[in-house]
Amino acid sequence: MLRASGTNIKLNFLSLFINMKTFRVQFLDEISAETEEEAYAILLESLASMAQYQDATAFQFEEVEHKTYQTH
């Protein structure tokens, strides 16, 4: 039987992010619509279609350096 304490699970989860790279993802499109609400709906429909067909070709991916953020 495999047992894991809450601490072990947390450490294992955090270790997934140690060696991960960071990517900037950009998407730019021009939508023709009569209202902003219609443009929003068109965008969501387009994104749903991209997800359905697993098509991310409209997005640009660029690897970026990790940044360290200071919290107060």
The predicted pLDDT at position 37 comes to 98
In degrees and rounded to multiples of 5, residue 22 shows phi and psi of -110, 135
The predicted pLDDT at position 70 comes to 57
The predicted pLDDT at position 69 comes to 53
The predicted pLDDT at position 23 comes to 92
Spatial separation of the C-alpha atoms in residues 25 and 10, rounded to whole Å: 28
Spatial separation of the C-alpha atoms in residues 51 and 59, rounded to whole Å: 12
Give 10-residue mean pLDDT values along the chain (72 residues): 54 65 93 98 97 96 77 58
Looking up tokens 């429909």 gives 45
